[in-house]
Amino acid sequence: MRSVIIFLLVIVSLSNLNGLAYGQDVEYRDSLFRELEKGSLDTMVFFELCQCININLYNDPDQSMVEAKRVLNIALAASYYSVIPKMLLYQGISYDLNGKYDSAIIMYDSALRMADKYGFTADKGSIYNNYSIVYSILGQLEQSLDYCMKALKIFEESGDSSSMAKVYNNLGSRYSEMGMNDMAIIYYEKAININERFQDYSRLVKNYGNIGTVYSSLDEHEKALEYYTKAYMITKDLDNKVDMSITLSNMAITYRNMKKLDLALSFAEQSYLIAREINDEIGKLVYFITTAEIFKDQEELDKALKNYSIAESIANSIGARQSLLEIYSGLADIYAQMGDFRNAYLYNENYNEERMRLLDNEKNKALDKIKEFEDDKVQSEIDILTKDAEIQELVIRRQKIIRNSVAGTGAFILLIALLLLHRYRYVRKTRDQLEKKNVIIQDEKEKSDNLLLNILPEETAEELKTKGNSKARSFEMVTVLFTDFKGFTSMAELLNPGELVAEIDHCFKAFDNIISNYDIEKIKTIGDAYMCAGGLPVANKTNPVDVVRAAIDIRDFMLKLKENRERKNEPFFEVRIGIHTGPVVAGIVGVKKFQYDIWGDTVNIASRMESSGEVGEVNVSGTTYNLIKKKFECVHRGKIEAKNKGAVDMYFVKSDIS
Instruction: Flag whether 17 is in a domain.
Output: no
Q: What is the pLDDT of residue 424?
A: 52
Judged against a pLDDT cut of 70, whether residue 340 lies above it is answered with yes
Backbone phi, psi, residue 462, to 5°:
-65, -40
Confidence of residue 41 (pLDDT cuts 50, 70, 90): low
| Polymer length in residues for the chain | 658
> What is the rounded CA–CA span in Å between residue 155 and residue 161?
7
- Same domain? For 190 and 298 the reply is no
Confidence of residue 82 (pLDDT cuts 50, 70, 90): confident
- Compare 411 and 244 and report the one with higher pLDDT: 244
Confidence of residue 399 (pLDDT cuts 50, 70, 90): low
- Same domain? For 519 and 625 the reply is yes
Instruction: Flag whether 87 is in a domain.
Output: yes
Span of 38-42, 187-191, 417-421 with lowest mean pLDDT: 417-421
Q: What percent of the chain has pLDDT over 90?
A: 42
Q: What is the pLDDT of residue 15?
A: 31
**Range list of H helices, 78-140:** 84-97, 101-118, 121-137
Confidence of residue 423 (pLDDT cuts 50, 70, 90): low
- Same domain? For 649 and 566 the reply is yes
The continuous run of DSSP H or E covering 470 comes out as none
Q: What is the pLDDT of residue 210?
A: 92
Domain that holds residue 484: 469-656
Question: In DSSP terms, which residues pair with 482 in a beta bridge?
Answer: 531, 578
- Compare 563 and 42 and report the one with higher pLDDT: 563
pLDDT digits (tens, 9 = 90+) for 220-271: 999 999 999 999 999 888 888 888 999 999 999 999 999 999 999 999 999 9
CATH number of the domain at 359, please: 1.25.40.10
Q: What percent of the chain has pLDDT over 70?
A: 77
| Among candidate residues 353, 334, 352, 355, the one with its CA nearest the CA of residue 343 | 334
> What is the rounded CA–CA span in Å between residue 593 and residue 610?
28
Q: What is the pLDDT of residue 203?
A: 87
- Same domain? For 477 and 605 the reply is yes
DSSP 542-581: -HHHHHHHHHHHHHHHHHHHHHHHHHTT----EEEEEEEE
**Taken in order 79, 81, 82, 87, is the CA torsion positive or negative?**
positive
Within a 10 A sphere around the Cβ of 587, how many other Cβ atoms?
Answer: 18
- Tell me the average pLDDT across 573-583: 94
- Same domain? For 512 and 649 the reply is yes
In the chain, the number of structural domains is 5
CATH number of the domain at 535, please: 3.30.70.1230
- Same domain? For 635 and 502 the reply is yes
Among 239, 262, 289, which residue terminates a domain?
239
pLDDT digits (tens, 9 = 90+) for 512-540: 999 999 989 998 888 788 999 999 888 99
> What is the rounded CA–CA span in Å between residue 226 and residue 259?
18
Q: Are 479 and 544 in contact (CB under 8 A)?
A: yes
- Same domain? For 440 and 498 the reply is no
The one-letter amino acid code at 607 reads S
Among 455, 485, 500, which residue terminates a domain?
455
- Compare 475 and 470 and report the one with higher pLDDT: 475
Q: What is the pLDDT of residue 367?
A: 37
The continuous run of DSSP H or E covering 30 comes out as helix 20-37
- Same domain? For 630 and 522 the reply is yes
**Taken in order 315, 316, 319, 322, is the CA torsion positive or negative?**
positive
> What is the rounded CA–CA span in Å between residue 191 and residue 208?
10
Judged against a pLDDT cut of 80, whether residue 425 lies above it is answered with no
Among 455, 482, 502, which residue terminates a domain?
455
> What is the rounded CA–CA span in Å between residue 520 and residue 524?
12
- Same domain? For 87 and 217 the reply is no
Confidence of residue 296 (pLDDT cuts 50, 70, 90): very high
pLDDT digits (tens, 9 = 90+) for 447-464: 555 544 455 556 655 666
Instruction: Flag whether 11 is in a domain.
Output: no
Q: What is the pLDDT of residue 645?
A: 79
Judged against a pLDDT cut of 50, whether residue 372 lies above it is answered with no
Confidence of residue 403 (pLDDT cuts 50, 70, 90): low
Q: What is the pLDDT of residue 38?
A: 76
- Same domain? For 399 and 504 the reply is no
Q: What is the pLDDT of residue 17?
A: 31
Instruction: Flag whether 250 is in a domain.
Output: yes
- Compare 331 and 437 and report the one with higher pLDDT: 331
- Same domain? For 216 and 264 the reply is no
- Same domain? For 233 and 256 the reply is no
- Tell me the average pLDDT across 50-55: 85
Instruction: Flag whether 154 is in a domain.
Output: no
Instruction: Flag whether 369 is in a domain.
Output: no
- Tell me the average pLDDT across 561-570: 89
Q: What is the pLDDT of residue 24?
A: 42
- Tell me the average pLDDT across 344-364: 72
**Cα angle, residue 358 at apex, residues 352 and 362 outer, rounded to 5°:** 135
**Cα angle, residue 441 at apex, residues 436 and 447 outer, rounded to 5°:** 130
| Among candidate residues 534, 504, 510, 516, the one with its CA nearest the CA of residue 454 | 516
Instruction: Flag whether 524 is in a domain.
Output: yes
Q: What is the pLDDT of residue 236?
A: 87
Judged against a pLDDT cut of 50, whether residue 13 lies above it is answered with no
Beta 520-526 vs 529-534: how paired, if at all? antiparallel
Helices 405-455 and 458-467, packing angle to 10 deg: 140
Instruction: Flag whether 155 is in a domain.
Output: no
Judged against a pLDDT cut of 50, whether residue 316 lies above it is answered with yes
Within a 10 A sphere around the Cβ of 204, how many other Cβ atoms?
Answer: 21
pLDDT digits (tens, 9 = 90+) for 170-181: 989 888 888 889
